[in-house]
Structure 1
């Protein structure tokens, strides 16, 4: 009973209640936390309210944060930052500027711990397995932007930050059947994929917060890494769509995300270790 009461004394703010953030915030409500959630448009506020989440409309540019009560939204012990870099030409300056503005607001708030949802796109294709000990500059703009944002957060001293780098997101209404259906001469057919189901994203985030794992970096992708050819062909077949064809004879570019560290640290077993089993 004492433990439950302790949990209910805590408040969590989830910045970005979309496909992943909304069910995550809903789980926190079920666990007894006081939960605040943000969305970018007014029409999405009701979905938060319906789940028992205190709703806030919040947008961040590289110049300002627009929120009717930013101080109220950040009145929490824990903040989950869960919004991806915008696809734009200046992504490598715009997204870090957004995070820099957010850091200023966090420093003036009671937030003690930040969980930043990042991506394994911070790594280029190295044609090998990758662990958290690998430090390799990103080549894509989105990966560079995320890496800069991560470093800004990790360099702060007024709060602690844990980084969770997720593989490709799948699950429920985000299944892969239509991604490559009917496409011709798709490259990298024999490259292994790195995906993670929504259930495991939520399970890992919840476990990090429950076990109070701060000031660390983790990777998260399903245990099994089938090839693009096998995965997307089967996905299209199961959905009754035209199967893709794959280019032959071109150099292979890939990475295999190793998630052993987070599984060991949290004593976590993936709910969906094999992406093929979901098709």
Structure 2
């Protein structure tokens, strides 16, 4: 049987190691980048490379060719410089170009869709809607209502690992708020493995939270993170009224029978995977 083909739109910090893992698993993989210099890197990893940027600037053929697959992983995070309307337009452009052969879509979202409810939150605490205040919730709704395509959404917590070390984020800062608030982090290794398992087990039509099961306080985590890089730890403000959310990821671990490689965000700071 011919191996399935997966298109990874956005081979950056997360998309490239995901595409590499999928190649190792025996999938045929198309991958996009906006950087000409990365094309040989994709090629050497066994990924069919496509140079693609938005607005398309004449690259409609590239987009159509990239999407010639059974499954699309949409992994383009929104950026502040881009603007919400531009991001939604990119998503609509991609979906409009989807060929009839495309059956499934794996949409990478974020736990930023949840407001600070000062409690544990599960997937049903943020509902995708075309009128949602959250850009990502509007986009989740869009991909979940595509005719002929079944979609799974994975909402990741704070991303760390492979040159994204949280020790640099707050080092030396003063009056950092919410010292007792829980952090919701996930290591790149777990991001890649969770997405790979969703694809391998064909868990379609779902919405999942994806966050490490342990939630140290902001003060504990960012102090330890700065210390791991021998940087000045942040100074936290006095405890104020709580404003937080604690992400529950029990659904994805149960559905996939998955065990986190890095369940403790503090313990993984000493890992070499940064």
Question: Is TM (by shorter chain) over 0.5?
Answer: yes
Q: Using the alignment, how far apart are the partners of 1:268 and 1:65 within structure 2?
A: 42
Count of residue pairs brought into register by the alignment:
267
Q: Which residue of 2 aligns with 1:202?
A: 192
Does the CA contact (< 8 Å) of 1:74 and 1:110 recur in 2?
no
Structure 1 residue 111 displacement after superposition: 0.9
Q: Which residue of 2 aligns with 1:3?
A: none
Does the CA contact (< 8 Å) of 1:124 and 1:137 recur in 2?
no
Structure 1 residue 157 displacement after superposition: 1.9
Structure 1 residue 178 displacement after superposition: 0.7
Q: SS in structure 2 opposite 1:235?
A: helix
Structure 1 residue 94 displacement after superposition: 2.2
1:1-279 pair list within 5 angstroms = 6=1, 8-61=2-55, 66-88=59-81, 90-91=83-84, 93-106=85-98, 108-135=99-126, 144-279=134-269
Q: Compute the TM-score of the two structures, normalised by the length of structure 2.
A: 0.92
Q: SS in structure 2 opposite 1:76?
A: coil
Q: SS in structure 1 opposite 2:164?
A: coil
Q: Compute the TM-score of the two structures, normalised by the length of structure 1.
A: 0.91
Structure 1 residue 45 displacement after superposition: 1.0
Q: Using the alignment, how far apart are the partners of 1:104 and 1:89 within structure 2?
A: 20
CA deviation profile, 1:210-260 (whole Å, cap 9, x unmatched): 111111100000010001100111111221111110111422211000000
CA RMSD of aligned residues (A): 1.9
CA deviation profile, 1:91-126 (whole Å, cap 9, x unmatched): 2x22222211111111x3411000000000011111
Structure 1 residue 69 displacement after superposition: 2.4
Structure 1 residue 177 displacement after superposition: 0.8
Q: SS in structure 2 opposite 1:199?
A: helix
Structure 1, gaps ≥5 residues long: 1-5
